[in-house]
Amino acid sequence: MKCLMRSFVDCVSCSPFLGNESSDETKLVEGGGVVDVEAKKREPGGWKCMPYIIGNETFERLASYGLTANFTVYLVKRFHMQQLVAVNVANVFNGTANFAPLLGAFLSDAYWGRFRTLAYASFASLLGMVILTLTSAIRQLRPPSCSQSTALTGHCAGPSHAQLGVLILSLALLALGAGGIRPCSLPFGVDQFDKETEKGRHGLASYFNWYYCTSTAGVLIGMTVVVYIQDSYSWTLGFSIPTCLMVLSIAFFFLGTRLYVYVLPEGSVFSGVVHAFVAAIRKRRLQLPAAEDAAEQEAKLYRGQLAKGSRITRLPLTLQFSWLNKAAIVCDGEVKEDGSVANPWRLCSVQQVEEMKCLIRIIPVWAAGIICFVALAQQWTFAVLQALTMDRHLGPHFQIPAGSFATIALLTLTLFIPIYDQLFVPLARRITGIESGITLLQRQGVGLVISVFSMVVAGLVEEKRRRSAIAHGGVSPLSALWLAPQLVLLGVAEAFNAVGQIEFYNRQFPEQMQSIAGSLFYCSVAGASYLSSIIVAVIHKSTGGDGRPSWLNDNINTGKLDYFYYVLAGMGAVNFAYFVVCAHSYRYKGTPETAKVEAGEGAGKVK
């Protein structure tokens, strides 16, 4: 703790965001090159900074997943919530934590910068972890203990309003922390490399590999070792360990303060998008020049100026959503003598218009990913509840914690990605001639199909589990490893769809919208969490009543959880058909109006 405080003092004294503004500052221009604000006083640290950034990310992942992986079980066992209520609380929390990165990306780009956002978010996460740990350690902050016989009847005392308030406060702080850390951690590491040099580019490629490798290792440890301690020893100890690890994560982060390159906030891209939309609305009655010829039309519109030395790709004008092109029609008095815009709410460049079109084109594809994540979300909720009613023993003495079964999907994802890169891509490349083997949209589509099959398998396994549990008095002697097939399929689906989404957004968004690209992925996960809660509530209400248990009854042995899985499979099939339509009509970024797009890598091949 003493080391942490000393590091924080150093941070305040030398960081341009938390301390003296006259300290050494280094920023990156839009094209990726490094420009020091005060004559290059500090060069990018590159790998010198990585132990602190990667160490911070690894311990943060270990802490956050160690705290939340078993969260549904904690709500059921310690807060005496009904299983359905606990599932919905977990879904709402996950949704909020994944929507928050959109706010974090905005604050980082427009006001705080990545370093300051990460600093604030880290302390918010730590405070949330401390409060959640206190709910397990202090009896007054949770409902009174309940005997096993009382628990079986479902008459345990629930939490009071004050106890729920403390719990919600801890979750709100954790969500705020996630909102700042998730969109900024990876880009902050990227900032430490000079992409104008060969050494910087090579270092950056290795950084991505190490970042994902170590963060995945942190997640696995959090979901196995920490969850095992929570289940087998003590919730207080199991929550205290992640909290201490978060302290260590913050210490790592601040220890590198004197080495970091600080990228100053340059304004949010949201403002440019809004400017273009408002300008197009204001000029909606004007006529576009050369309405059928994109090249001639672009020559007569305001193209604007890119920053000197910028390597941002200038996007060609397209005729799709042509009414937006009116935002670039130049009227009297709208351009200053130096060529800049007099009023950004009345005139925007072709570049700004095409950037807004990129966002509009991506949204339908993004929406299709939500249903896939609804299926993926089940590994954290109902799969855990299924495991609680099955035989989780490996040998006579070791019992796998129910909250650790989701690691099967995570392990599958981790192991499948190298197989995909080293075996599938070269083989597919020889067949298709595409550098990446298949396009990113095709990759997402494969993931959607596999997620549908995973829900069908989940339904079949649940039907077998329920029959076995009823025949044996409530707890099935069936091995919980029967859940492995559906979890393996979910891991493969995530490797195709989720990873494909991340790469797709990063390739298709303009360079200055990369932070939005990262946060959009988390918004998809958030939308899935909220949608999952709505689906659960609707099915529970519509299938229950009149003395009959709902499909999602609190006692899953008397419910029809398998029917719920089949509903998700049906929704996934309909969603796949919608995705095919969206993918077929999608226009890749930078595709000229007269070009013919073939199935190509990421942005497609263009003739």
The per-residue pLDDT for range 413-430, each reduced to its tens digit, is: 878 888 888 888 889 889
Which is higher by pLDDT, 355 or 312?
A: 355
Question: Is 3 part of a structural domain of the chain?
Answer: no
Q: How many whole angstroms separate alpha carbon 305 and alpha carbon 351?
A: 9
For position 247, which CATH number holds? Answer: 1.20.1250.20
In angstroms, rounded to a whole number, what is the distance separating the alpha carbons of residues 606 and 441?
A: 16
Given a contact cutoff of 8 angstroms between Cβ atoms, the answer to whether 70 and 227 are in contact is yes
Residues in the chain: 607
Q: Provide the 3-class DSSP secondary structure of residue 238.
A: helix
Beta strands in 349-459 (DSSP E): 393-394, 398-399
d(C-alpha 385, C-alpha 388), whole Å: 5
The answer to whether 590 and 315 are in contact (CB under 8 A) is yes
At residue 438, does pLDDT exceed 60? Answer: yes
Which helix (H) or strand (E) segment is 273 a member of? helix 269-282
Pairing of strands 393-394, 597-598: unpaired
- The answer to whether 168 and 175 are in contact (CB under 8 A) is no
Least confident of 166-175, 227-236, 279-288, 401-410: 401-410
Let me know: does 66 contact 241? Beta carbons within 8 Å. Answer: yes
pLDDT at 6: 52
Residue at 135: amino acid letter: T
Radius of gyration of the chain (CA): 26
Residues 255 and 277 in one domain: no
Report if residue 73 sits inside a domain.
yes
How many Å apart are CA 279 and CA 439, to the nearest integer? 35
For residue 298, what are its two tokens? 């672009």
């200055």: which residue's tokens? Answer: 512
The share of the chain scoring above pLDDT 70, in percent, equals 83
Q: Among the ranges 313-317, 360-364, 598-602, which has the highest mean pLDDT value?
A: 360-364
Give per-residue burial for 395-420: e unless 16+ CB within 10 Å, then b: eeeeebbbbbbbbbbbbbbbebbeeb
CA dist 388 and 323 (Å) reads 56
3-state secondary structure string across 310-342: CCCCCCCCCCCCHHHHHHHCCCCCCECCCCCEC
Which pLDDT value is given to residue 422?
Answer: 82
The model's confidence at residue 389, banded by pLDDT at 50, 70 and 90, is confident
Instruction: Name 38's Cβ contacts closer than 8 Å, sequence gap at least 6.
Output: 24, 25
Q: Is residue 309 part of a domain?
A: no
Mean pLDDT (the chain) is 80
Question: Are residues 559 and 444 part of one domain?
Answer: yes
Let me know whether 288 and 390 are in one domain: no
- Do 278 and 379 lie in one domain? The reply is no
Domain that holds residue 516: 357-589
In a domain, 1, yes or no: no
338 pLDDT higher than 90: no
Looking at the domain assignment, is residue 36 inside a domain? no
**Residue 334 and residue 398 in one domain:** no
How many domains are contained in the chain?
3
Q: According to the model, what pLDDT value does residue 401 have?
A: 81
Which of 29-43, 60-74, 281-295, 523-537 is least confident?
29-43
Q: What is the mean pLDDT of residues 508-527?
A: 76
User: How much is the pLDDT for 209?
Assistant: 57
Residues 388 and 493 both lie in one domain: yes
For the cut 50, the answer to whether the pLDDT of residue 112 exceeds it is yes
Region 175-193: mean pLDDT is 84
- What DSSP line would sit under 567-589, residue for residue? HHHHHHHHHHHHHHHHHHH---T
Do 517 and 391 share a structural domain? yes
Residues 474 and 554 in one domain: yes
Can you tell me the distance from the alpha carbon of 217 to that of 240, in angstroms, rounded to the nearest whole number?
A: 20
Same domain, residue pair 242 and 276:
no
Phi, psi (rounded to 5 degrees) for 147: -65, 160
Mean pLDDT across 312-333: 86
At residue 61's C-alpha, the angle toward residues 60 and 65, to 5°, is: 120
Angle, in degrees to the nearest 10, between helices 350-377 and 561-585: 160
The answer to whether residue 294 scores a pLDDT higher than 70 is yes
Same domain as 398, residue 298? no
Average pLDDT over residues 153-168: 84
Asked, for residue 27, whether it belongs to a domain, the answer is no
Confidence of residue 122 (pLDDT cuts 50, 70, 90): very high
**277 and 368 together in one domain:** no
pLDDT in the model for residue 570: 96
- In this predicted structure, the answer to whether residue 527 has a pLDDT above a threshold of 60 is yes
- In this structure, are residues 243 and 135 in contact, taking their beta carbons and an 8 Å threshold? no
Chain segment 563-599, per-residue pLDDT in tens? 999 999 999 999 999 999 999 988 877 666 654 444 3
With respect to residue 22, please indicate whether it lies within any of the assigned structural domains.
Answer: no
Cβ atoms of 82 and 161 within 8 Å: the answer is: no
What average pLDDT does the segment 231-259 reach? 88
* pLDDT computed for residue 505 by the predictor: 82
Choose among 545, 368, 385: nearest CA to 458: 385
- Lowest mean pLDDT of 106-115, 282-291, 592-601, name the range: 592-601
Say what the pLDDT of residue 22 is: 38
CA distance 236 to 226: 11
- Cα distances from 261 to residues 120, 297, 308, in angstroms, run 18, 42, 21
Write down the pLDDT at residue 488: 94
What does DSSP assign to residue 268?
Answer: -
Burial 213-230 (b: 16+ CB within 10 A, else e): ebbbebbbbbbbbbbbbb
The confidence score (pLDDT) of residue 147 equals 65
CA distance 25 to 40: 8
273 shares a domain with 262: no
DSSP 8-class letter at 306 = P
Residue 14 within a domain: no
Which structure tokens are listed for 124?
């918010």
Residue 286 pLDDT more than 50? yes
Phi, then psi, of 309 in degrees rounded to 5: 85, 0
